[in-house]
Amino acid sequence: MIEIKDLHKSYRTGSTSLHVLKGINFSVKEGELVAIMGSSGSGKSTLLNILGMLDGYDEGSYHLDNVLIKDLNETKAANYRNKFLGFIFQSFNLINYKTAWENVSLPLYYQGVGRKERKERAIAYLDSVGLKPWVEHLPNELSGGQKQRVAIARAMAAEPKVLLADEPTGALDSVTSHEVMALIQKINDEGRTILVVTHEEDIAHMCKRIVHLKDGVIVSDEVVEQQRVEANV
Amino acid sequence: MKIFDKDLWDEVMATLSKNMLRTFLTTLGVIFAVLILILLLGATTGLSNGFAKIFAGTATNSMFLWSQQTSMPYKGFDKGRRIEFTLDDAELLTKQVPEIELISPRTQLGNFRGTVTVTREGRTSGSSVYGDYPSIDRVSKKRMVEGRFINQSDLDEARKVCVIGLDTYQLLFDKGEKAVGEFIQVNGIYFMVVGVYKRNDNINFEGENSVFLPFSTFSRAFNTGDKIGWMAIMVKSNASVATAERKIKTILKRKYSVHPDDPRAIGSFDFSQIFQGISAFTFVLQGFSFFIGLFSLIAGVIAVSNILLITVKERTKEIGVRRALGATPRIIKTQILMESIVLTVFAGLVGFVISTGLLYVLNVQFGDGEDFPFKNPTVSIVQVTVLFALMVGLSLLIGLIPANRAIKIKPIEALREE
């Protein structure tokens, strides 16, 4: 699904150059649930941005579903993101003046799906994350865990190849964190490929594979025994 | 992306209604600009209509022509010779000058503006006495308060009838007394009154103290024969009075052996020149109004664009999220531009409604007033269409500034966690 070969990325600020990713080799097969760990400055956010087509890279190659992702223009990147990727953010990033279902249907809107079908599909996804009674509610009427579930439903709405979750539990307490991880596991069980960036060990162990990043290189990449979370949503 | 996509409109309306007070304040500039523009344009039209009202009843494409004394010797004639026009001249001109719509010859007792004593049952009035054709009513319309104006039968049969002005009536009759059917005396000859007219609140060169007789009656009663004092000439609406005037004078000068360059022998007054002057004045006023309005509009639209820049800044994160979810730069751009257009046009409509209301009030207050030339202050459909096209165009153009700012937002920067 994801094929990264000898990936390099540097940031230039004036005369100084910061080499952030120093040759990453990394691949993810369909249906995997991978945790990417690392302290701040390890390059994990940069890697996620490149995986999410939000940023470019200098050297190497990145194939997503056998499509080379390189030097995309803004419009093409937007279309690829819409088609291939679902984003889950630490701070949810819901649009606060749109109801739950409108937020979920946004990727479908950008795909040009008609309003009626959009609403049906959005409600179906909200139902699958256990939020059917909340479809007409605004984000500020929802709890943190509920907001993240709306965001997950939104990430799923366009039926992407890969879900990218950036610290999905970073703004949540441990109980809701577990709820969210249970949901992520459930989605993964259904066959979806998911990458989770986190710095919490326990969250990482709820995934099937953990990749450690340090100073721009992968220091370890191991398959772990997945710690299942009690699904009570 | 279609412009009439309901979802796009929903998006636009949702963002605009998010901060109603600010949205409203933003639009004030455009509202005032449209207000000023429509008020000025409307008032100019009102003024122009007011002038038109003053001239109402006077054919604007008309001129007057009279004979005077020559001021240059020509073909053996000395200068100072008096020329007198006759009915034949009117006929000759009608035949030879195609621009002429009609000629109404007139003769008059005394000199120009001279008066004659008119009497009835011991009362007297010093009035102007004219011998006229019924067609004079087309050049200078009379408002009849009683009876009728001179007609063709009066002329054909040389009836001894007359039409008098309201002033003359008041001097010769008691208040409320019926004038039609009564007789008045001019230079010892009796004429029956068939009508009384009133001034027309407009340019009126005959006043209300006048007595009109049929031309034929006048010529027999006072033994003036075919001689005419002056001619009121109406020119066809598609022809220029100046051209007609030049042709007429050339013909008459040749006929009466007047030196072609003699400026004095034939007197004339071109009514259309006054109108041209006033039209030019209102035209300039209109241009000026449009100029002021246009610049206030630009200022207003810039204010809208400014506030949209601020909203774009505020919505950096939202725009970043939208981009991450697959919004292309084009979609974002279209949305900001639509916001700009919707704000401007909405403000324009508000300004339009308010200003139309104000114009209505102005019309009720000053319209049809006796001493102020103001009537029906309106703006034409063309002006409104141009104005709205201008607003859409300007808002589109200036909306490009915040729109381009919005598409420069990189999702990666927008999504960076604080």
Give me B208's structure tokens: 């209300």
Interface of B with A in 379-408 (CB under 8 A): 407
Nearest to B7 among A75, A115, A167 (CB): A115
pLDDT in tens, A125-153: 999 999 999 999 999 999 999 999 999 99
pLDDT in tens, B89-112: 888 998 898 888 889 998 888 766
What share of chain A in percent tops pLDDT 90? 64
- CA A198 → CA A85, A170, A225, distances in Å? 18, 8, 17
Q: What is the largest CA-CA distance in chain B?
A: 111
Nearest to B325 among A49, A75, A107 (CB): A107
Q: Are strands B189-198 and B183-186 parallel, antiparallel or unpaired?
A: antiparallel
Residue A157: closest C-alpha in chain B: B325
Q: How many angstroms separate the CA atoms of A107 and A118, rounded?
A: 9
Residue A79: closest C-alpha in chain B: B326
* Under 8 Å between Cβ of A31 and A192: yes
Q: With contacts defined as CB-CB under 8 Å, which chain A residues touch B403?
A: none
Given a cut of 70, is residue A47 above it in pLDDT?
Answer: yes
pLDDT in tens, B312-321: 888 888 888 9
One-letter amino acid at A136 equals E
Q: With contacts defined as CB-CB under 8 Å, which chain A residues touch B333?
A: none
Report the residue of A80, A94, A105, A110 to disrupt the B interface, i.e. the one with the largest count of B CBs within 10 Å. A110
As a whole number, mean pLDDT of residues B374-382 equals: 80
Given a cut of 60, is residue B306 above it in pLDDT?
Answer: yes
pTM of the model: 0.69
Out of 3.30.390.50, 3.40.50.300, 3.90.650.10, 3.40.50.2300, the CATH code matching A2-223 is: 3.40.50.300
Q: How many angstroms separate the CA atoms of A36 and B167, rounded?
A: 107
Q: How far apart are the first and last CA of chain B?
A: 33
Please check whether residue B181 touches A, CB under 8 A: no
Higher pLDDT, B4 or A59: A59
Q: Which residues are CB-contacts of A120 (< 8 A; sequence separation ≥ 6)?
A: none
**Residues in A lying within 8 Å of B, measured between beta carbons:** 49, 52, 54-55, 74-75, 78-79, 81-83, 87, 89-91, 93, 95, 97-98, 106-107, 109-111, 115, 154, 158, 167
* Under 8 Å between Cβ of A29 and A65: no
CB contact under 8 A, B323 and A78: yes
ipTM metric: 0.90
Given a cut of 80, is residue A233 above it in pLDDT?
Answer: no
Instruction: Provide the 8-state DSSP code for A134.
Output: G
Burial (CB count within 10 angstroms: exposed 0-12, middle 13-18, buried 19+), residue A10: middle
Please check whether residue B324 touches A, CB under 8 A: yes
Q: How many angstroms separate the CA atoms of A84 and A220, rounded?
A: 27
CB contact under 8 A, B324 and A52: yes
As a whole number, mean pLDDT of residues B51-71 equals: 79
Q: How many angstroms separate the CA atoms of B258 and B127, rounded?
A: 34
CB contact under 8 A, A79 and B325: no
pLDDT in tens, B233-263: 988 888 888 888 989 999 999 888 888 888 8
- Backbone φ and ψ of B414, nearest 5°: -65, -30
Please check whether residue B19 touches A, CB under 8 A: no
What share of chain B in percent tops pLDDT 90? 14
Question: What residue has token string 């200098």?
Answer: A58
